[in-house]
Amino acid sequence: MVSAARGDDERLDASSCGVSIGSGESGQSSVDSGHRDASLEYLTASPRLVDQLGFHAVAPTGGHCEDAWLVTAALISATDRLTFLVAFRPGAVLPVLSAQMVSTFGQLSGGRVLLNVVGGDNDEQCGYGDNLSKYERCARARESFGSPGRWATASR
């Protein structure tokens, strides 16, 4: 899914939270391009299917849709092997709480969680109340996670 928070509905013809698969010769979507309500049944269908097909990981939501942490947590019991790629926005949540969220999700899912560290573009981040520059957001992410070498050493 597209990850930009603002402007997706305009760019994607109001289908950003729905499904738009392929296009015919006329360039029209082969699936209804209207907005779809984010019911648990709807949000569970794709991850359940890709889990059954043997895919490794999925990011079932975008920044412009429902909260990735809540949706993926709700999908843990609907899947057996699928790992969830969850958007993580350094600065949006305090580091200690972030660590607790990741740890809890990992415990409940049997370790089926990956983080997508999102720096976002300026417009997207402003939509979340984050007015730092891209450079400042990258520095904050480095501070949140420390050096990658430290993580590799800690996991041994």
Domain membership of residue 55 (yes or no) is: yes
pLDDT grade, residue 98 (50/70/90)?
A: confident
Please tell me which residue, 78 or 24, carries the higher pLDDT value: 78
As for how many domains the chain has, the answer is: 1
Q: Per-residue pLDDT tens for 120-141?
A: 788 878 888 888 898 898 888 8
CATH number of the domain that residue 63 is part of:
3.20.20.30
pLDDT score recorded for residue 53: 92
Residue 41 has pLDDT above 60, yes or no: yes
Whole-model pTM: value is: 0.65
Task: Provide the domain limits for residue 100.
Answer: 38-154
Domain membership of residue 63 (yes or no) is: yes
Domain membership of residue 143 (yes or no) is: yes
Give the residue among 19, 25, 8, 6 at the shortest CA–CA distance from 128.
Answer: 6
Q: Per-residue pLDDT tens for 5-15?
A: 344 444 444 34
DSSP β-bridge partners for residue 114 = 85
Rounded (10°) CA dihedral 78, 83, 85, 91: 90
Alpha-carbon distances of 134 from 12, 26, 131, rounded to whole Å: 25, 39, 9
